[in-house]
Amino acid sequence: MATTPHHAHWSSRWTFMLAAVGSAVGLGNIWKFPYQAGLNGGGAFVLFYLVFVFLIGLPVLMAELSIGRRAQRSPVYAMEQVAREEGRSKYWVLLGWSGVIGGFLILTYYSVVGGWVLAYIAKATLGFSGFDADTSRAAFNALAGDPVEPVVWHVAFMAITVAIVAQGVKAGLEKAVKLLMPTLFVLLIGMVLYAAVAGDLAAALKFLFQPDFSTLFFVTTIDPVTGTEIQTFTITRVLNALGLAFFSLSLGMGTIMTYGSYLTKDVNIARSAATITFADSAVALMAGLAIFPIVYAVGLNPDENVGLVFITLPIAFGQMTGGAIVGPAFFFLLAFAAITSAISLIEPMVSFVEERTGGRRPNIAVLIGFLVTAIGLLSAWGQTNNLLGDVSVFGVNFMTAKGYLTDNIMMPAGGLFIAIFSGWFISRKNAMDELALNDGAFRKYYFLVKYVCPVAITAVFVSVLFF
């Protein structure tokens, strides 16, 4: 296989951090975390998510960065090279491939949700005054159920992403990331404060942080014949928490490996990984704290599903002083965060095709973007009341099915193999050299990737087959 070494490096540790945080922080934290927490019963799910983030996500993040930096190549070539240097099977390269495909698949629904965010920038400039639970839900359903409007925004979202990727990621993005990411953090803090005062904070805190394990391990259904409640044991919600941890940290599919390949040797991987992990989970929790107090105050339900953010926040913007400015600003910054993540989803495939074929980057980006946009139509039209709303794949719509495949299967499986590879197939000495940690810290990392990650991920996978 032809290999083209990467030469470019981040201009500073700070740029790398911003790019990595830009990839990690996106719709996963602000859209997916709250609605998944809502659907999966709250506190116990949130607790599992956080445990997975720190016990599994953090070590896998370090492992991915190490492999990428060591090889200085995009994931497919990086896996091929490191496996060869360690005298291991050439089939480890499949891990690079699954990442390239995973990023592509995620983007086919990520971009539709990104499109909804763009639509809400426009709606927010018109204002949400007088919005209540019913009107806001109706407004979201009207958008998601429309055959044309979401498609227009989905195309716009992909066009922006492709335009940036076509020019090379670093050029356009560096300045924007430096300014807009911190602004998003500040705005989120403001919204948390607003929600704490104007919403029902106590109910939100109870929902998010008081674990009730019966909501995690049991689903309640009503027996259609007798009308009695039936409790069924399930592991699916634990898998959802694991999948969300991988999704929100951009793990298990080569994105972080790609970013690691642009790293210089003097960067401390462990410290960077810890910062990314903290920032990422902090944004998810802040989003939860900005949303749930409003949910309870206005009589919405936590389980509004994919519309939760789009239904809840406009009600707050409609009520607050200055909402006509804060609303558009929020959706603009969210769109920006989504675009920096979308770039990191498409980048492994674009850089791979570029390295492989030697073709021109803009052409490759446009071609891949076109394919994503076309397949993405299934996600846009698969929404309730939309053209393909009645089509079900394994009992759910296209978007949910793709989300399950990527978040709950491909990413944790990618993480599982990265952990196994890093813990068992890279020599201890090489792993230690790359991370440059002191003995005690390295031993903890090694214990986590070697035993904890593989055992925990396998345990969740296996139990889900039975329950």
Give the nearer residue to ligand PHE in terms of CB position, either 46 or 139: 46
Give the nearer residue to ligand PHE in terms of CB position, either 75 or 382: 75
Per CB under 6 A, which of residues 236..275 are in contact with ligand PHE? Answer: 247-248, 250, 253, 255
Segment interacting with ligand PHE, rule: CB under 6 A, options 27-35, 63-71, 157-165, 210-218: 27-35
* Cβ atoms of 374 and 130 closer than 8 Å: no
- CB of residue 115 vs ligand PHE: minimum separation in angstroms? 14
Q: Does 35 bind ligand PHE (CB under 6 A)?
A: no
Q: Does 28 bind ligand PHE (CB under 6 A)?
A: yes
CA neighbor of 149 nearest in space, from 395, 383, 449? 383
The footprint of ligand PHE on this chain (CB under 6 A) covers a number of residues equal to 16
Segment interacting with ligand PHE, rule: CB under 6 A, options 21-29, 181-189, 205-213, 305-313: 21-29
Segment interacting with ligand PHE, rule: CB under 6 A, options 59-67, 129-137, 311-319, 337-345: 337-345
Q: Does 98 bind ligand PHE (CB under 6 A)?
A: no
Q: Does 344 bind ligand PHE (CB under 6 A)?
A: yes
Give the nearer residue to ligand PHE in terms of CB position, either 250 or 397: 250
Segment interacting with ligand PHE, rule: CB under 6 A, options 20-28, 47-55, 230-238, 271-279: 20-28
Q: Does 24 bind ligand PHE (CB under 6 A)?
A: yes
Quote the crossing angle between the two packed helices 411-420 and 58-71, to the nearest 10°.
70
Q: Does 368 bind ligand PHE (CB under 6 A)?
A: no
Q: Does 79 bind ligand PHE (CB under 6 A)?
A: no
Q: Does 281 bind ligand PHE (CB under 6 A)?
A: no
Q: Which of 22, 26, 38, 415 binds ligand PHE (CB under 6 A)?
A: 26
Give the nearer residue to ligand PHE in terms of CB position, either 136 or 161: 161
Q: Which of 208, 245, 334, 345 binds ligand PHE (CB under 6 A)?
A: 345
- CB of residue 416 vs ligand PHE: minimum separation in angstroms? 16
CA distances 366 to 139, 155, 353, Å, are 32, 12, 12
Q: Report the 3 state secondary structure along the chain.
A: CCCCCCCCCCCCHHHHHHHHHHHHCCHHHHHHHHHHHHHCCCHHHHHHHHHHHHHHHHHHHHHHHHHHHHHCCCHHHHHHHHHHHCCCCHHHHHHHHHHHHHHHHHHHHHHHHHHHHHHHHHHHHHCCCCCCHHHHHHHHHHHHHCCCHHHHHHHHHHHHHHHHHHCCHHHHHHHHHHHHHHHHHHHHHHHHHHHHHHCCHHHHHHHHHCCCHHHHHEEEEECCCCCCEEEEECCHHHHHHHHHHHHHCCCCCCHHHHHHHCCCCCCCHHHHHHHHHHHHHHHHHHHHHHHHHHHHHCCCCCCCHHHHHHHHHHHHHHHCCCHHHHHHHHHHHHHHHHHHHHHHHHHHHHHHHHHHHCCCHHHHHHHHHHHHHHHHHHHHHCCCCCCCCCCCECCECHHHHHHHHHHHHHHHHHHHHHHHHHHHHCCHHHHHHHHCCCHHHHHHHHHHHHHHHHHHHHHHHHHHHHC
- CB of residue 103 vs ligand PHE: minimum separation in angstroms? 6
Per CB under 6 A, which of residues 100..129 are in contact with ligand PHE? Answer: 103, 106
Q: Does 340 bind ligand PHE (CB under 6 A)?
A: no
Q: Does 27 bind ligand PHE (CB under 6 A)?
A: yes
Give the nearer residue to ligand PHE in terms of CB position, either 319 or 351: 351
Token pair for residue 342? Answer: 């979308």
- CB of residue 345 vs ligand PHE: minimum separation in angstroms? 5
Q: Does 37 bind ligand PHE (CB under 6 A)?
A: no
Give the nearer residue to ligand PHE in terms of CB position, either 27 or 208: 27
Nearest residue to ligand PHE on Cβ basis: 28
Q: Provide the binding-site residues for ligand PHE, judged by CB under 6 A.
A: 23-24, 26-29, 103, 106, 247-248, 250, 253, 255, 341, 344-345
